[in-house]
Structure 1
């Protein structure tokens, strides 16, 4: 049947290539607008077409609790456009669709062939390590280099660059703990990524990596935690010895003042928020510029969608972490949940755009959620396949 051929070609050939292009595009696409188009044309649109013609293949994924939590949150966010101040930008209605296509695509690839999904994410991680090496070499080879490494390709800002490379650093950190296979290569890639993170001068990824290590210590109850603690202690000591003046000189960068002012502006629209399209202007004494985001993704959610939306947002993570704890013996769960922890904690000190077109923040939010959804869906399929055998017995 032609619908089956379309789906088969999509899962076996098109989607694997599109996913690698998406995960690595930031490193080699010259402009962010081209990165958007790359995602739309290679992943989002083909997935939408396949869902339209072969939607029955996705029935299991759309019934997963994590996916349903996302749909509820996304619908509420879109409804909040109705009470946004001024003339709402209804083009933003497309943003949840972009995210939904990513969740469906990754989950379906995991359900169909989890081994291939793991290999593709690993390949993207290798490319990230090579991109980090090239960036480091170019940075040190530039006599007029900036104080902080800014990034190559579509990456141009030290902090945003750290979001993407930090995701892959957390990936290899968790991979080291989930399996001893090829540990030497994993360690080298992790070290390269951490070195680049130090060169960006950003503190956010290190705070998130510390949280990731803490999560791994909780999840792993064997002697691997000793090696993890020793390795991370050595990396932290070396980094602070070499880069301490750069990392610590900026203090808290006005974060407590920014969060307090954001919360003050949340109060007038406490329950339902100011609306998804509502902007925020934050004035901090001592800063010479106006800030346009709360530097905290969760506060950004609450500002625009209120405590109700914030509760839905936190429910996504709560369910993800609880499900990860219940399946903590799985190496795949260890990796996907660590990426979730990394992204959630990194988002506590940066950003405000939680539902946007594909960009750096997706590596903190939606890509980890998509990978965790794929792992949970694969586990569900495994449980479903055992039911007939148990009944027959």
Structure 2
């Protein structure tokens, strides 16, 4: 038998459920995709122009491993002003190739083989695989729809063991759009401090919070020294393809992350860093305009979904809705597959975000109102066609 050269932890990984439906949709005609979480806005022109200008000036060499000091200073100032976070530019901030790399570096920096990481679900699809690749063991902690997918402190208390090294949080959340408020974060922080574990806080959607300003758990007294804050420019600044993120945290951890970064990546793209510098200095008006548009779309989509019978809570941030499709009697996989085939609308089945996501779908409203209108009409037609009776729903729930 031919020897397998693949690592076992890589062999065990499943392909991204998000990309599965995106790839299927890309091969079909007349498809409206509500699948991939990417802004439909083009990067603001002043950011593009700043990047061009950096090239004209000949800034094409490597930057420092941790990123341009000027950019790190601007990130430090921005986080202090917007989120009441205090980080030193020279040793507590690392510029990365997207927020995803920051999460990967954080996990690889702190995990020993067998360490457990609590992943609050529904969650972004990369968290648990990243834990596995870093040699750890992901422990799923399911938030319920009854609590608007907000994790309860007592639930966290129940799953923490002596092997627990960290917990991964995301607020505003992908895929649910849920935003944790101060009281809820303080309750989580109390458990975290009691058991002396780390928090990896994914705050990539922090700027896209609608009713109340997003709060970082690192701003709670006693949490800065046990939190790695991860964010970036992809979502709020419409810079997904620029691949630029950052991590902030205790000096010891950021230093360890930088060592891995310098051996595996060297530095983030130079021209992207100059673009990000402009985004922080002069891009907030564009962010506010995009956020206002997302909020309008959110209201439109939530109302339409509830009207067609797909129960949906009002998400407080990001650009996703997470409606229940239980009344159709289909699994989330079947619903997404058939919706794509029959009505040419691509959504993501909820189960790819964890077991608690089964019975739901994720729809991104980061597309035009016109496209959303057509997609929602198609979905309403599909739901009406496949709606099951109350008696059938009762039987399905009992099975």
TM bucket (normalised to shorter chain) is 0.3 to 0.5
Which structure features the higher share of helix residues? Answer: 1
Which structure features the higher share of strand residues? Answer: 2
